Amino acid sequence: MRIEGRIAAITGAARGLGRSHALLFAKEGADLLLMDRCQEDGPYPLAGRRELEETAAECRRLGARVVTAVADVREQAAVDAAIAAGLNEFGRIDILLNNAGLLAPGGVRAHELSEEDWTLVVDVNLNGTWRCCRAVLPAMVAQRSGSIVNTASVGGLVAYEMYSSYVASKHAVIGLTKALALEYGRLGIRVNAVCPSTVAAGDRAETSSTAAVAAGMGASLEDYERSSTSYHPIGRLVLAEEVSAACLWLAGPESAGTTGSALTVDGGFTAR
């Protein structure tokens, strides 16, 4: 077990990549604080309380102690309360995996986005990541150890057309990651980012965010995945478990020499 006895907080844990990360972290011996907004309304259908509790139940079956918390990363008070609940139960938090994120509203040129749509994406992807770091860092500083993994995207390294708010927010997540790595490295805290490309919408992860992107571009999920595959030198999309494996490595002791990095899990997408 590679993170046995560690306490990990994961945002957006109800489904998709967050669920995949939670299951792998549980299998590798971590106890978990699983957070999600738990409201299905959004620019596309998001996850509810039922999905968060399903993730928690699966993790418990794998032997993890689990606390769940309803917290929208746009609300500092809710994030603080969730982290406090985790600290109360476990006494420490060793790992923060910032996974909650939105891929839309998008599908239009930058000048066609409303201020509300722009702000929503930046508030969840960038500000939400900062808020969760802000909530957990006092405990990590006090314990002089911690590992934070922020979810960026290949959209944090290169641009996609028609998703300017997403691209800008994910570039900023990488900037935030680097800044925090500098500020907290000597306090024993590492901060890294993971940059997935399009994750196959497989049955295990059940992510529907790519379906939302496909819909925004007027394509079916199948057509979108086929066209996206052609940009991946490995000849297929990446898998949720491959992204989770990268997060596990960044979160755990094997990456002790790594901070401020942006690790791609992109099948060669950004090698062009």
Ligand X SMILES: NC(=O)c1ccc[n+]([C@@H]2O[C@H](COP(=O)([O-])OP(=O)(O)OC[C@H]3O[C@@H](n4cnc5c(N)ncnc54)[C@H](O)[C@@H]3O)[C@@H](O)[C@H]2O)c1
Residues at the interface with ligand X (CB under 6 A): 11-12, 14-18, 36-37, 46-47, 72-74, 99-103, 124, 128, 151, 153, 196, 198-199, 207-210
Residue 101, both tokens = 């994120």
Cβ 239 to ligand X shortest distance, Å: 10
Cβ 187 to ligand X shortest distance, Å: 26
Where do we find the tokens 């980012």? Answer: 193
Give the nearer residue to ligand X in terms of CB position, either 44 or 141. Answer: 44
Residue with smallest beta-carbon separation from ligand X: 101
Give the nearer residue to ligand X in terms of CB position, either 4 or 161. Answer: 161
CA 146 to chain centre: 17
Cβ 141 to ligand X shortest distance, Å: 24
Give the nearer residue to ligand X in terms of CB position, either 84 or 142. Answer: 84
Residue 142, both tokens = 């006090």
Cβ 41 to ligand X shortest distance, Å: 10
Q: What span, in angstroms and rounded, lies between the C-alpha atoms of 49 and 39? A: 7
Give the nearer residue to ligand X in terms of CB position, either 98 or 255. Answer: 98
Give the nearer residue to ligand X in terms of CB position, either 145 or 220. Answer: 220
Could you confirm whether 166 is annotated as catalytic? Answer: yes
Cβ burial of 257 (10 Å; 0-12, 13-18, 19+) is exposed
Cβ 165 to ligand X shortest distance, Å: 12
- Which of 44, 160, 166, 231 is catalytic? The answer is 166
Active-site residue numbers? Answer: 166
